[in-house]
Amino acid sequence: MTHNGTLGVAVIGTGRMGSDHVRRLDEVVSGARVSAVVDIDAARAEAVAARVPGCTAWTDPAAAMASADVDAVLVASPGPAHEAALLAAFEHDLPVLCEKPLTPDAASALRVVQAETRLGHRRVQVGFMRRYDAEFRQLKALLDGGGLGRALMLHCTHRNASTPPGFTSRMTINDSVVHEIDVTRWLLGQEITAVTVLRPAPSGDAPAGLSDPQLVLLETSGGAVVDVEIFVNCGFGYQVRCEAVGERGTARAGDAHGLYVNAAGRWGGEIAQDYVVRFRDAYDRQLQTWVDATRRGETVGPSAWDGYAAAAVCEAGVRAQETGLRTPVTLTERPGLYAADEATAEELTADDTKAGGAKASGTTAGAHHGR
């Protein structure tokens, strides 16, 4: 399956996220190399490929996947292009790491689930990178171990410094709160059953027509309640937090305590300005875990079902946003293929030490908003 023991990966999409993954595969992750990059902008694909020895540039994802040099696929193109890329990967039975969203809506996500089910085995890992963040993993282990008793509530905060032109109120759910939706399902091991969205008077710094901030309330199948403050033009930086409230205690992930400085009559630290900085280690760990599992012939982590469930909750969230009403979430029956696809602490621990450093081979350093 691999070439000289190294996984040849085709990266589809060479925007900000795709280019960062090319860098990560080339400089950080061991056991893999970028064998191809794909972008509808041929010049951009060629420019990215030129930075990686032995990498070829393509404009057609299906043609790249047919190359003998490609063992696996990383999809980082815009969401509307994901379904076609995933179905093409299934035709070649190639493992895929697909950046969120799996697809932009529940209907197309369900088609991917059904296609993978017909394939008879999992091939897709969805890029919900918070599952690979050290603090969120510790919180997951604490909840799974019963250290807080039964989880009653989650309090979540998701703040961005600013939004790019064209960012809409719908995107606050589909591009931003989607991460809290996945984190809720993962941390609690429960499905989300209803969504309510409250919209206070917009901030004076919110672009015209954008409802910002918002408060999103999620109800779960186990009776937990989750509140999410989404504030995408807070102005001061990027913050993601999650506090679990249990029967016997509370725990919070995401404070991101770094270097604390006292100087010149002031004290404090630094606030990350975007998701690429805040979740750098999580992205490294996520990609290393995917490569290691793929080389073992396994697929682990967030599944196509998780991508579908998140899309269905997002659709309910957008309806709740537009109507102001509590909106139930409807899911189809979960296929047996995904009966045991929850990412576990054990699944990730073995790979912790491999991510975040220089590539084992000795190689050294030489689109998407709302995460």
What digits encode the pLDDT tens for the residues 140-160?
999 999 999 999 999 999 999
* pLDDT greater than 70 at residue 367: no
- Which comes out higher in pLDDT, residue 272 or 110? 110
What's the rounded Cα separation, in Å, for the pair 273 and 287? 22
DSSP state for residue 6 in the 8-state scheme: B
Q: What are phi and psi of 51, to 5 degrees?
A: -85, -10
pTM reported for the whole predicted model: 0.89
Least confident range of 230-234, 255-259, 316-320, 334-338: 255-259
User: Across the chain, how many H-helices and E-strands are there?
Assistant: 12, 15
* pLDDT greater than 90 at residue 338: yes
Straight-line distance from the first to the last Cα atom of the chain, in angstroms, rounded to the nearest whole number: 33
Torsion of CA 348, 144, 179, 226, to 10 degrees: -170
Q: Say if residues 342 and 122 touch (Cβ distance below 8 Å).
A: no
Query: Residues 312-317: what's their mean pLDDT?
Result: 98
Least confident range of 131-145, 178-192, 256-270, 281-295: 256-270
Spatial CB neighbours of 55, under 8 Å, sequence gap ≥ 6: 33, 34, 35, 36, 37, 48, 49
What digits encode the pLDDT tens for the residues 15-36?
999 999 999 999 999 999 999 9
Q: Name beta bridge partners: 241.
A: 157
pLDDT of residue 341: 56
Q: Where are the alpha helices (DSSP H) in the chain?
A: 16-27, 42-49, 61-65, 82-91, 106-119, 134-144, 169-171, 178-188, 275-278, 280-295, 304-323, 345-349
Query: Residues 174-190: what's their mean pLDDT?
Result: 97
What digits encode the pLDDT tens for the residues 71-123?
999 999 999 999 999 999 999 999 999 999 999 999 999 999 999 999 999 99
Q: Name beta bridge partners: 99.
A: 127
Residue 45, SS3?
Answer: helix
Q: Say if residues 13 and 38 touch (Cβ distance below 8 Å).
A: yes
Q: Name beta bridge partners: 56.
A: 36
Spatial CB neighbours of 167, under 8 Å, sequence gap ≥ 6: 207, 210, 232, 369, 370
Structure tokens at 246: 């249990």
Nearest C-alpha neighbor of 95 from the set 70, 113, 62: 70
* pLDDT greater than 70 at residue 365: no
Domains recognised in the chain with CATH numbers: 7-130+280-302+345-354 (3.40.50.720), 132-278 (3.30.360.10)
